[in-house]
Each structure stands twice: as structure tokens, then as C-alpha cells.
Amino acid sequence: MFNAISSQASKLINLTRKSQNQSKTKIITVTSGKGGVGKSTFTANISYLLSKRGYKIAIIDADIGLANMQVLFDMKPKLTLFDYIEGRNTITEVISETKFANISLVAGKSGYQYAHIKNSLVLTRIVEDIKALNKYDLVLIDTGAGLNNYVQEFLSVSNNILALTTTDPSALTDVYALMKMLSVEKEKLLLCFNHTQNYKIGETIANSLVNLAKKNRLNTNFMVKYIGNVSTSANISTTSRLRKIFAHEFANDDITKQLQKAIDSILNNIK
């Protein structure tokens, strides 16, 4: 499936290579396999911190099961990704400004039936359309749980893939499945641990995943790059419930420092 989507996507990408080459925009797809690990929270917070560093950010909320980015940013956009997918609106019409300078959002919609649009490569097109605007430095795509067709399409079209996971065995199993799938076609996976008390624990588990990949002879050109850890904090869930961004409210917190460290590593490892 991934292969099929990839080959179709690469045809489309070849067609649009000109616009892509001229675009400064880098794409990062944030994924996990398992749901509820903190992807949306992480994406919103690193977007905020990147915007404070002067990067122009667009977020695409691509979680079809539970689109909550507009809740985290406390906004109610009239148009969503699905107005674009269904051909009613252009890319510029479905991009909304958040209350933060330098962060825009293509909001999602919960419960959308992706089955209607499969094989259309419309998700590839939205990424190409955003690149062609040449307005954003980074586009962060927040995907939902699982590795269904639409998540695979966003993985296929993105040069940079970041997996956020917990150290929970079922979450790690899902990340390993993701590694196996990506190792066929991609060069690298950025790996970040959430709900993980210190950097070292994440590093040790990341190394175990790499060793498992070696043992199972996954493609040796495929690299897993550990980028850091985020501890558990009640303040994260509280700020989310209050529709506020944690890193904005707690700029000097240790967890904000962990997020900054992860961002340094992300910026050093994307293309």
C-alpha cells in the first residue's frame, strides 16, 4: 500500500518538482502509530516555540478521528481541510490565522469518512499547494492514530517524519511497525519520547529499537535519530483543557526546555 501510494505520489511530485525546488518550505509529518501519546500537544507546542524563533509555521490537522488542533489554539475556523479535499475551497481559503504571530492552521474535522477520497492523492496536492505558496518555513502535519491510507500518504509526501511515542510496550510495538514500513523508502525517522522522565531513558530505548532493526535486518541505510524526551506534567494537560499553549504559559519550565532541545535536534536533522 505504502509502495503504491509512494509511486503515485512520486509521479505527482515529479510533475511539481519545479515548484518544490523553488520552495523554501520544509514538511514534517508527526506520527506515532498509537493514539493518545501526545502528538497534537507536542505539535502545537513545538510550533509555538518555533514561531517564537522566527519561523513561519503552518500546521495541518490531519487527525481524522479526533481533530483537536483548533481546540488547542482556541479557535473555531469556518473552513477545514475537508473543504479543500472536497474541492469547495482553495488552499489559501482553508488556512486560518491563529492568535500567535507566525502560526497558521489548516483545521481538521473529526469523523470525516476518508474512504470517499482514497487514491485521489489530494493530500499530496495540499502539501504541494502549501509549498507553492512559498510563505511558510515549516509545515507540521499532525496525523491521527494508526497507519491507514491517509496517514501513509502524508508519510509518503514528507521528507521528514517524526514519531512521538511513549515507552509503553504497545506504543513501542507500533513505532517498530512504523520503522519497518518506512525503512523501505525513507532515509530517516526522528524519534521523540513523551511522558519520559529523562533524556537518557529515551536514548536507551531508542538504541534498543535500532538494535532490533539491525537484528531483523531492516534496510541499513535507514536511520533512527533520537531527538529527545518530554516529561509528564499536570500543567500540560491543564493548559490544554484551558485551550492554552503550555510553552507559552510556562516559558521557563523544565519541560519547555526539553521541547527546545528537541527543536534544536529537529532543525539539525530535517531537509
Ligand X SMILES: Nc1ncnc2c1ncn2[C@@H]1O[C@H](COP(=O)(O)OP(=O)(O)O)[C@@H](O)[C@H]1O
Residues that bind ligand X (CB under 6 A): 32, 35-41, 68, 194-195, 230, 232-233, 236-237, 240
Q: Helix, strand, or coil here: 208?
A: helix
Minimal distance, residue 89 CB to ligand X, in Å: 25
- Closest to ligand X by CB, 104 vs 196, is 196
Residue 36 beta carbon to ligand X: minimum distance, rounded to whole angstroms = 4
Cβ closest to ligand X, residue 178 vs residue 218 = 178
Which of 37/157 has CB closer to ligand X?
37
Residue 82 or 222: the one with the smaller Cβ distance to Mg ion is 82
Distance CA 74, CA 70 (A): 6
| Continuous H helices in the chain | 2-15, 17-22, 39-52, 69-72, 81-85, 91-94, 122-133, 149-156, 169-183, 199-215, 234-241, 246-249, 254-269
In Å, how far are 65, 150, 178, 223 from 146, measured between CA atoms?
Answer: 10, 10, 9, 21
First to last CA, the chain: 25
> Which partner from the list Mg ion, ligand X, none does 194 bind, CB cut-off 5 to 8 Å by kind?
ligand X
Q: How far is the CB of 84 from Mg ion (least distance, A)?
A: 19
- For residue 226, count other CB atoms closer than 10 A to its CB: 21
* Interacting residues toward Mg ion by CB under 5 A: 39-40, 63
Residue 122 Cβ vs ligand X, minimum distance, rounded to whole Å: 22
C-beta closer to ligand X: residue 19 or 265 = 265
In whole angstroms, the minimum distance from the beta carbon of 158 to ligand X comes to 17
Q: Which partner in Mg ion, ligand X, none is near 41 (CB below 5 to 8 A by kind)?
A: ligand X
Residue identified by cell 479535499 is 85
CA 214/CA 178 separation, integer angstroms: 15
